[in-house]
Amino acid sequence: MTFVRRSLRAVRTSAIYVMAVLALVVVFLAVVVLTGGVGRGWAAWTVTAVIGTAAAGLLATRHRRRSAVHALIQTSLACAVTASACVPTVPTSWHYPPDLPGVSSERWTLATGSRVAVYHYAPSAGVVHRGVPLLYLNGGPVRSIALIDHTFLRRLADEGFDVYAYEQAGGGRSDPMLMHDYTIDRSVRDLMAVLEHVPGRRSDVIGFSSGAVTLTRALADAASAAFIHRAVIVEPGPMDGPTTQLDGWTGSATAAGIAPLPGGPRSISLPRYAVAFGLLRLGLLSPQDEMVGQAEAVNAFRAADLGSDTANSYCAKDAQRIPVEDSAANFSFNPAASLRVQDTITHSPSIAPQLRASEVPAMLVMAQCSHQLRQWATAILASDPAITRTQFLTGVGHHIWNGLDDNNDRAASVITAFLDDEPAPLPDYPTAADIPSFLGEHR
């Protein structure tokens, strides 16, 4: 019986210790949120330590010395745990990925003040050169261009296109900006400034995912649209605030939840980045808060952190063969800047009235297994009368040029046919008139 009593007493004491430590950790997290993580979280850590120490002092003044000692021990444990969320474990200065072999690249200083990394794939020798240069806008929005995308761009150059691509400021090898400068309007202005640099009066532009959003908003801006010859809008996200509020559904089942988790290190395995990125994703920290600096966040974030997002870009049938999209050396993602750009889209007014005035010939490309809401794409289709063609690719996910089977060939064929003003390889579907039936069928 004595053994049982001692065991119960030990369990109760341990439970009290754990609860006290957890209570102080909760206090730390609450103060991080209230202070925006100022001082890398050390301000919240100081408040936590003061509260714990004050509680111990109060107990001591009431002649409860044993309880005061326990409170000090609990405070020390909580301080040790929370301190791990305040100490950077990666460099806090900006580091650029190494140059890519086999591709011409340079830095362009734009009229907006942004300094961006630009890649150029010249048309292959022995093929007919297209007369209009082609510019690619990658998704992210603030991340490096993946190697799988570079492979596809090289494929387009092999077919005679003079291909350019650039990484948005703060992504990949481009220089960062102050956090408040990351806005969708700045993205559009940077696109226009890049197009001013590209040789030739106007360029064809392919926008993928969030890059398709930037392209769509450029089509709604007369000054930017003047530099665009033809536009290819691939798997777009929401184009403005009202579109982000739409309810709806996605395409066929993706590989999310059934694909093996990618290997490699994850930032969220470390307390500091689990706290910072977790609170950021929950919306409890603002992208402009000071818990983790921009450079440190980019250095900490790993490709494995996007595991579920990557699987979402592939059909369920491809779950066991998702290709490696990028290398560790090339991968770069700026989480706070990306959320900041997305926030400015969410709070932007409708661009539908301006988009209805667009005269730039455009094509919308949709994937069968897309994880994007169909209503995001159909909102653009309904608002842009200059979309003269829609191509619906079956058997492929959000990342339509993924190197699997003949997916790159099919993606290239629909893009090339449109840019050359040749007949489409697929039926023109859905058209604007097809939207009600397309949505009604949950395609």
pLDDT more than 70, % of the chain? 94
pLDDT on residue 4: 45
What average pLDDT score do residues 196-218 get?
Answer: 96
Q: Is pLDDT above 60 for 181?
A: yes
Residue 182 lies in a domain: yes
pLDDT, mean of residues 284-312: 88
pLDDT of residue 64: 67
Chain centroid to Cα 253, Å, comes to 21
b/e map 246-268, b = 16+ CB within 10 Å:
eeeebbbbbbbeebeebeeebbb
For residue 12, what pLDDT is reported? 54
Query: Of residues 263 and 3, which shows the higher confidence score?
Result: 263
Domains in the chain, number: 2
pLDDT at residue number 305: 86
The identity of residue 356, as a single letter, is: R
The count of other CB atoms within 10 Å of the CB of residue 351 is 23
Q: What's the pLDDT score for residue 8?
A: 44
127 and 228 share one domain:
yes
Residues 207 and 326 placed together within one structural domain of the fold: yes
- Please check whether residues 180 and 257 belong to one and the same domain: yes
- Model pLDDT, residue 58: 76
Residue 116 placed within a domain: yes
Q: In the prediction, which pLDDT does 3 show?
A: 47
Q: Indicate whether 46 and 176 sit together in one domain.
A: no
Inform me whether the pLDDT recorded for 323 exceeds 60.
yes
Q: pLDDT band at 72, cuts 50/70/90? A: confident
Average pLDDT for 218-232: 96
* Same domain for 180 and 121: yes
Q: What is the pLDDT of residue 441?
A: 80
Please report, for the domain that includes residue 307, its CATH number. 3.40.50.1820
| Final residue in a domain of this structure, among 52, 83, 114 | 83
Q: Which residue is associated with the tokens 């992504």?
A: 171
Question: Can you state the angle between helices 184-197 and 335-346, rounded to 10 degrees?
Answer: 110
- My answer on whether 306 and 192 are in the same domain is yes
Same domain, residue pair 308 and 252: yes
Is residue 61 located within the same domain as residue 123? no
**pLDDT for position 104:** 81
**For 234, phi and psi rounded to 5 degrees?**
-110, 120
For residue 79, give its domain range.
Answer: 2-83
Least confident window among 47-56, 163-172, 290-299: 47-56
Adjacent-strand bridge partners of 116: 108
Q: What is the pLDDT of residue 167?
A: 97
pLDDT digits (tens, 9 = 90+) for 34-58: 999 888 989 988 998 888 788 777 7
Computed over every residue of the chain, the mean pLDDT equals 90
